[in-house]
Structure 1
Amino acid sequence: MPEHRAQVDELLADYRRSREHLASVQRELAAIKASASDAEGLVTVTVGPRGTLIGLVIAPGAYRRYQPAELSEQIVRATGEATARALTAAGQVLAPALPAGTDPQALLLGTGDLEPTEIAPRQRPVEDDSFENQSWVRS
């Protein structure tokens, strides 16, 4: 019976170490922030670990430099760049906690081991909504 108790104690100790490691990884992931700016430094965005916009700084000169549509394009572009940086950082934090051979980026993006063809939206058949070649008179 004492041998059984030692095995249970070891399993519990392994479990506690695993939980602490997971908590540590989660804390590191939650702390990730990434920023990106436009080429002139007039727009700076900051995103959190999942690419969620958490900060936006628009310098007064941006309103003189960019038209509204251009300004929105700069914000979207910088947000995409910052998101890519955040995902890279998250992948680096997550990689040591994953089984060997697991792609952390694919896991973070939710694609796992799926191929691009499996993820692509299914094409719906094009239906002809035109009635110009149809007759409403029965023959």
Structure 2
Amino acid sequence: MVGDEQWKLLEQLVQEVNQQTEQLKQMQEKVRDLSATSRSKDGMVSVTVGPRGDVRTIDLDPRVYRKLSPSELSASIVEQIGKAARQVRGDMKEVMEPFVPDLPTDDLFGEDMSFEAFLRRPCKPPGPRPPM
């Protein structure tokens, strides 16, 4: 038979698991909404990337074609993508750090991965204690 103290401990553990599950879901939403933008020093190229380094926008100043050669433009775009991706990875690590210290973020947020795949559905606290 389960004693009163053990029953209370079990209820407390179920509540903690549910709270942690909710916190992880909130963290996933924050990560999903992350983005970073990098602008070239000359202001000709601006790139925004999402949490996986996916390019969301590339904005070019209309004068870019007169000021930069095709290879310079290409190099600037690649550079801004890299800068923005590094920024968003840093932001992601900050959001995730309390939950998964020292875990590479790529392991959690590669293609087709989500936290919900790692989580069980929330537990329900036990009902009234059964009669002894």
Smaller-chain TM-score bracket: 0.7 to 0.9
What SS does structure 1 have at the residue aligned with 2:19? helix
1:5 aligns with 2:7: yes
What SS does structure 2 have at the residue aligned with 1:55? strand
| Larger RCO, structures 1/2 (Cα 8 Å, 6+ apart) | 2
TM-score when normalising by structure 2: 0.73
The one-letter code matched in structure 2 to 1:59 is: D
CA shift at 1:7, angstroms? 2.6
Which residue is 2:105 aligned to?
A: 108
Unaligned runs of 5+ in 2: 108-132
Unaligned runs of 5+ in 1: 111-139
What pairs with 1:42-61 in structure 2 (closer than 5 Å)? 42-61=44-63
The count of residues paired between Structure 1 and Structure 2 equals: 105
* Residue identity (%): 27
Distance 2:3 2:106 in 1: 47
Distance 2:43 2:24 in 1: 37
* CA offsets 1:22-70 (integer angstroms, 9 cap, x no match): 0111111111110101111111000011211111101111111111121
What pairs with 1:37-76 in structure 2 (closer than 5 Å)? 37-76=39-78
Distance 1:8 1:63 in 2: 67
Give the structure with higher Rg (CA): 1
